[in-house]
Structure 1
Amino acid sequence: MILLENALAYIPLFAITAISIVMLILFSYIKKKNTARISFIAYFSTIILGLGSLLSGIQIYFLENPTQAFGIFAFAAAIAAFIIIPYAIILCTFEPKEIRKLVPHSQNVEEMTTAQAYAQVVESKSLQATDEESRALQLSYDFSAKATESFSDKNGLSLLLDHVNKTIRDEIQADGGAILLVDDFEDVITVKSFDGDFPPPYKLPSDMPHKPIRIATNFKFASFPLRENIFGEIATAGKPELITKPENDARIYQNGPEEFLECGSYIMVPMKVNDAVIGVIALARTHEKPVFTEDNLKTAVMLSDFATTSIKTVMSVTEIMEHNNLIKEAQIATNIQQMLHPTKLPVLPGIQLGTIWNPEEGVCGDYYDVIVSRKDRISFVMSDVAGKGINSVIVMSMLRAMIRLVVNTKKTAGTILEWVNHGIAAESFSTDHFASCALINYDPTKKVAEIATGGTTPVYYYSAEKNTIERLSNASEPIGVDKESHYQDVLQDVKTGDILVTYTDGLVEALNEQGQQYPKESLLKIVSLNASKSGKDIANLVKADIKKYIGNSSQHDDQSLLVIKF
């Protein structure tokens, strides 16, 4: 009673009113944000308590009637308590049913226990992880589908690499990307796919203009050794790396001063199959963009693993297809060559012939021929065409056809080779498909041999009278290299018992088990010691001696020999 008579008694009443108003504002905000459910009972009891304290304060402050003010406040408090207490009792005794419907955490926070709230958070994260796995699985299927499509396209591997490069770039929002493949034979790593803005992390050539198009073109066709550069070292180490501070990395070279050359952040991921690195996926962000994160690195590694499997599959299938195509091509070329090879040597009065023709495998680059064109000319040809396959057979066919066409003329052996050389060298396909050739025109009426050679095919002459053997051929350009090449004629009188020998380099380059070549001196010695035998017997003795020399070693080149005994 004493407090109510105090003139300051209205202050706590007005304070309760203000607190009630604040609570109503907070309830409204909570409802708008939908962070919890606010019951109507909470609103109603707060309004009653706030109105009761407001009216009581007015009675004291303005009407100076504390007795009536006490009654009003007590009545309001009783009503609020009457409303809120039963509601509290119901909440204490009520057993809520399990809510199976997935709703946002904010809608259930006031109805869930702590354990339920935790379980929902875990489930939400699980759903998020499932979405990421589903996305990764979809990209893996996409890579596999693209790999399958590439089998039917001759540029299939390049198309697959470009697709993988773009996909990973998009997934981690990289400004530029490149895929480099390792060449095990040359110990280099070469760019096979490139796109976007990729500040080069390697030293540019000093004479290269610093223009974006020139820099991009240089990188697109670049090869790097497997050391002393970031790409080679990542491939060698076989570990992915996130580089966010290139200025502190000794492997990164800072070109400049142009802004587009300034290095940003990089992700480098080795492409591994059974611990063997087949290449590197390189991704870049320019310096003005936010640097890559660990999450970006994890995504790039995961997608790289998926992509590597598809890329390796395409590479393997491509190798098999190329090998099969080579086999088919070799079979076609072999069939053609079999038609060009003389199945039966002509019978020549006063001349005995001995031959060896031992092709290595598939298409043989060696070719020999015996052409009886006139009474005063019998031509002997020994040739070794560089390379294998259809182009080599074409060169061989042209060589054979042109010699057979012009050997019937009065032209010398040197002139005939010049004509043949001019025709073959003029063809673009002959750049890597040239031939060594020896042409021997023998005049039985005068017993004179006219000899001309192009390339490395030699001609040796054994004199029965002197029991000596010497080389007659001169070193010269091969057939098909230079249209202006000249070939000299060498004339040699022959007598009864004399022998001419010509062969291809595969014969004297046969290797034994110690890696030593069969000596040409051994071949010439057999000829000299067995000069009394027939040409066929001499050839067979050479063949047997080579076989004995090499033992179980495999043959590495075609072997051909022509023995002409007069």
Structure 2
Amino acid sequence: MILLENTFAYIPLFAVTALSIVLLILFSYIKKKKTARISFIAYIVTILMGAGSFISAIQIYCAEDQTQAFGIFAFAMALSVFFVIPYAIVLCTFEPKEIRKLVPHSKNVEDASTANTQIAETKSLQATEEDSRALQISYDFSAKATECFSDKNGLSLLLDYVNKTIRDEVQADGGAILLVDDFEDVITVKSFDGDFPPPYKLPSDMPHKPIRIATNFKFASFPLRENIFGEIATAGKAELITKPEDDARIYQNGPEDFLKCGSYIIVPMKVNDAVIGVIALARTHEKPKFTEENLKTAELISDFATTSIKTVMSVNEIMEHNNLVKEAQIATSIQDMLHPSKLPVLPGIQLGTIWNPEEGVCGDYYDVIVSRKDRISFVMSDVAGKGINSVIVMSMLRAMIRLVVNTKKTAGTILEWVNHGIAAESFSTDHFASCALINYDPTKKVAEIATGGTTPVYYYSAEKNTIERISSTSEPIGVDKESHYQDVLQDVKTGDILITYTDGLVEALNEQGQQYPKESLLKIVSLNASKSGKDIANLVKADIKKYIGNSSQHDDQSLLVIKF
């Protein structure tokens, strides 16, 4: 090798050093942003190149031994390659990259099928994570509501909690919850936080200062017309507004930046088609607009929140008008609101019910939920204990089932989710329940059944004229978070009947202290299977009354007859 005096070889070596430093900075930034995975091999190789170049450049610049300088540089490069080669071998062996080439058509089909399967599995995993997050939000709202029952400011605390939760989920700059006052036909702000450019006309004498505007909005009331909040509450339909300048319902208040309207999401909160208020979210004009995905998220969380808010509102209304009412009377009133006042009309299905509560708070609960065109859910539950604690468990059970049945999860999985939420609560030592959940698919004429505890489900076959129990006894809801509940599938035909009831029905005592026989109940169903579901339930009720005579009732009695 011929080395020249006064060589300028140190210049490119210093350049390599500088580039290595830049590369390390970029690697660190990529790792922080998590936009790609950076292997530790990349760090080692970059450090070796930078260090080798720097040492070699210093030696050449200082007119030291150039042979030694280039030897150091060569050694650094060789050591870098030494680290890269095993890493490349590992990548080639265990994580090969896809190389597209001409292959037979059958191979392409096979590869495409594999890719589609992987995509489906990924989407399934994502859906599971979304369902879990939705369930957690639902449980958090229910748990927060139970904390607010005994607090005089409970509703405000719950509204603030819901407002913060939904703001975080959709990354809104500001949020507000407004409730409808049916007596005065106005909608009033009950919770407000963040930066929310007002979409309504401000009073002409109000100074355009952020704190004054926020204070005005925090205590504002609006009529149910001629403003965006009232009109959406009246229409009962959620809206995504990304172009407020084109919306005649939104007023632009001024040139100040904090008053410039950005994008809005306004979602009505509905209970049985009645709007109790709206949740309003805003992003300022310099932020990215809300998306349809944000709207869907807001609607989903609004559904979760509405049940909890309505429950607390109902409790507050009762307490305001009955300050001296005993706990049992309050709980009974709450439970009456949870109990379905009217059963839905279901094409091709006849329903019959018995709901005969013992004096005081009833621990029995049944429900009929039409969640989708391919799912009608029937619930029968017996909550342990009496008083406010049993009502809390009942309200949590009702709220969580009503929310989760709208998913595609099976009946057993739904009960597992509900069980996990209730079992995790520690407000009572007897917070458990027996529950039967029947998901019926009218498009396939298949009933999917899961039970927790002792609540049974019987199936009468019109074709065979037989009746049998198709459910099994399992762990009650709320005892063990890890309990599992099995699904039972049952094809149903015209004339078939499903029956479920609480144990108080077959534990009714006559004057001799004998229990009403289960066999008598089933016999009435079999002998009168040609009658309507309502008639069958009335016959059972009459038979029990005849059997017990003048004996007093010791437990709640509930029955649900489902005739196809």
Instruction: State the TM bucket, normalised to the shorter chain.
Output: 0.3 to 0.5
- The structure that has the greater radius of gyration is 1
TM-score (norm 2): 0.43
